[in-house]
Structure 1
Amino acid sequence: MLKSVDINLKRCFTLDLGRRKVNRGERTLNVNKLNDDLFKILSIGAIHTVYQPIVSLDNGSILGYEALSRIALKECELNIEELFQLASRQYKLWELERLCRSKALENAIHKPYHAKLFINVDPNVIHDPEVFAGFTWEKLNQYGLRPDDIIFEITEKSAISHMDTFTAAVNHYQSQQFKIAIDDFGSGYSGMNRVCAFSPNFLKIDMQLIRNIDSDTVKKSAVAAIVKFCKESGIATIAEGIETEGELKTLIDLNIDYGQGYYLAKPENKFQEISKEQQIYIGNANYEKNTIGVLGEIGALATKKNCVLENDNIFDIFLSMKNDPKITEVCVLDENNHICGMLTRSFIFEKFSGQFGYNLSKRVKAKSLLNHDFLEVDKKTPIEKVAELAMSRAFSQVYDAIAVTENGRYFGIVTIKDLLNSAISIQVNRAKCSNPLTGLPGNTEIQKRISSKMIDSRPFSLIYIDIDSFKPYNDAYGFSMGDQLIITLGNILKECAEQGEFVGHIGGDDFVIISDRHRSEVFCEKIIDLFSTRTKSLYTQEDADNGFIVSRNRNGFVDTFPLATISMAVVTNRMEKFSDLSKLSKVIAHTKKLAKMESGNSIVVI
């Protein structure tokens, strides 16, 4: 008879609450009880699954859900991570893995149709013979799921015992349309070596790199480097463990593709959306990030073209393309108008070529030949960003059309020709709308930006800047030097403006800054100091020493004038919300008048 042995585990366990880690410290556990708990969990299936949304940081839509296993045996003292460690020691790893995966897939029949399911996989079990034997395929068929619904998350925290076998297993899954994500990247063993070994579809950045990233410049630099690498490699990035608004905003600014964490949504038994407030925040943050230089959204270029359904015959698509050379691709939709994939002209014609291609492909359904690797963007995505995404694709896909969605459903198609024509149009419009002297946006864009603030309840400031004593300077030094004075101020404003702030040139010596925050005297004083320093070189030494210039006044008489200074009128919505453009214009004019009444450099904030 075996004796019950108590052991003191001399390591610190962690409690897995979704993606948060809580230290449990040392404790004494009964080994026999632990083993009994493991076998009981396996025998009665005492595991349940919760699901945490993985959210697009472009528009707040749901990419998918991570399936997180929880122990449903009340008397069990272990958490799920510890249970897996015990199962590994008892050679029951695949049995526990199979149970967790079964539970995750069983409940996934209730997930939104278009959403992906992220399933955690221990790297040392993925090449188990039973895995290859078709267990996952059997469950997919049982619950009406598809291979492209599933993303296997392989944790970076576990060492891989046989890398060659593991890589072969990953390649096997990818060849069957399953996608792969590296989990906890930045915390594990092989780093970039593992990424380069099998080119995953997703890379999940470990929460330790995300925590307080908004105030940690080293973490920002590290994550920015990861994003750059992934963009160039065609890998989508997912930030784990987002817990604050500051972290979320920083990750959006760093161009992370997707996010997951308690701040967005906690794991729940049911499949949930994030709140409308969070969706609006993500949309607004992206709008502000992409406003500079953006002259439109991709939806304006999209055209609705003929689409096909998953069960349509591929032969009918072939005939349509054969009869109409303008059909270069078709989107394949499900019954809910979600895009399942895309079929290109070259791919279809290839299938019907050769001695047997015609007969073999004639009765095939569209869903069996889908290309799932296509570029899909929301209709509100800026045109410039779409062009960047399109050009970063693999060379063989660079000229493929782009699918455009609205609320996750088919909206239209944009071809590369459309993008090129748009780029030309953008350059023409910029030339028309920009001030030729400073290159800054002119009145048309300024009016558009101000109007957009009328429908936005978030903080903003409108800063009006003009040069005092500009005419005397222009008369004394000539138009060329007057232009240099204006250019100098324009460059200073561009330099001082932070990300998301808009700088416009109204005309002459008048400028405007539109900010998404309440600006104060401190910001204005920095501009004034730079202007005072840099404009000294635009005067003769004598005028600079005197502190004035001699020029003619408006009546034509010689007079003395002070050196150029600037007046800054700042209007914010801190105390008053503006919903009427004419009212805002009156307040701006009044504030500007107050600033001009003061001599020398002046700042008036309302």
Structure 2
Amino acid sequence: MHSWTDTLRFAFQPVVNLTTGGVAGLEILARPETGDVLAEARRDAELDGRLAVLAVRAAARKETLLPLHVNVFAGTLADLGGLAPLHDAVREAGRLPWEVTLDIVPPYTHVPQRALLEAVAALREQGFRISTDGVGDGDVPLRLLADLAPDLVKLDACLLERPAMVRAMRTLCDELGALLAVEGVETELQCAAARTAGAQLAQGQLFAPPARLPAADVYVPPRSSVAVPAPRSGPSVREFLRPAALLPAGASAGQVRALLTGSPDVSGVLLVDRQGVPVRSVHRSRFLLSMSGRYGHALYADRPATRLGDPPRTVGIDATAWEVLDVVAVGGRDRTSDDVGVVDDHGRCVGVVRLADLVRALAETRVEEAAGLNPLTRLPGSDAITREVDRRIADDRAFALSWLDIDHFKQVNDGAGFAAGDELIRSVGRMLQGQASGGTRVGHIGGDDFLVLTDLEGLDPLAASVLDALWSAGGRPVTLSLATVLCLPGSVADHRQAAACLAPLKMAAKALRGGSWVLGHAGSPGHEVRRGSLPVAAAGPEVVGAEPGVG
């Protein structure tokens, strides 16, 4: 009697790193030749668990070193309370649990959430990584998504038509410590949209279709001139993560040599203990040079590879690219090309990063930043501020957008000279930048004009520090004018509308005597005069506006 497994085949689809262009893992997809085994697995937890085991065994037969993504229905995890046979299959295949990501597949409706969370906790304790699949086109509740705290969130490509939602999901992923992937990418336009919205990983027909053999090469469109803004502290190491080549700490030099010669793309091997913690790092070139020397093979082939390794260089999964460079900078120059291992909270290796990937990405970031800097103050221009304004609007965050300039600056230049005027502009820029912290961004938009974006709680301290300072040029006292529009969630649609709300407030501030500050609310008429006074000739009953200090 034939079993349904006789007609079951598996295909492999690459999960692509959009930063490095490399393959970050392989999703294993069941492809039955007859019947609909997936529909049956949705109703039968035991069958679904067997499919997961067969997927891992199929990958083992292909002898791939890449991390694996195995699909499991949410209901299966809740019903079975874990997947003990899967853990055994992973070990039998010579793989480690943290090399396997379980893609939890919808539906979630009617799945007991407590049982699901307990099963996920048990699997995570064993070392498996967790991904939530079908987000955006499935039925996963956002609260459950947060409780699951996945390592990876997979979005359906349909959400790329709503980039604000993808950006918001990237923000949520950052809070959860998860990576963001988009699946079903079919066009270069979708790939560019995924990058712009902040996705780090993607998969789909554009890169490589599902195939019986794991893809050795994938097509990744070149990065467009529109770059995804990096976090202020630097790009996360997660964006550069590559699969690690791992062998047990007791592996012989011959085993390491066989792995390296059979995998030309592997630049090094990490030797790990039974818990997956790196104990030695073997660099490809140095190792093969030692083995190819006179008597090298005879001396080392059957001996532990640890003798030809070095202490591993590692960083945490939450590190930034700059922190990786700090690690690389410590030690001898002969190790600057070594891979840096990335470890989780338990010290287990989850991948490696290569110096070349970091240097290239950071150099591109610096070039883009430098191109937008004002040559006088070295502050970014308006584009950097308006992009951040749009991000905060998309994230439904309240913010204050302020315009600041120097009063009667032409007279300052005419009376004190342009050199004194330039130094005054630089001094104001330094003061603003020095006071910027947390959610504050400062831009120099030209001449004596500055844009300042702050969170609501950071507005008053910054305004006070700048307006209370005693400014002068060539011995002459100088005052500043500040105009601010408060934008609450839903009050403006984009940065253009925010700027339009700010324009009349700027005119109102310039109409006041002395140092001034005018504050208004987007979508509301009138304004509040925080500082400054009306000229005597204008201080009549027909003047419209709020009284100073009213808020």
TM-score between the two structures when normalised by the length of structure 1: 0.44
Which is higher, the Rg of structure 1 or of structure 2? Answer: 1
How high is the TM-score relative to the length of structure 2? 0.48
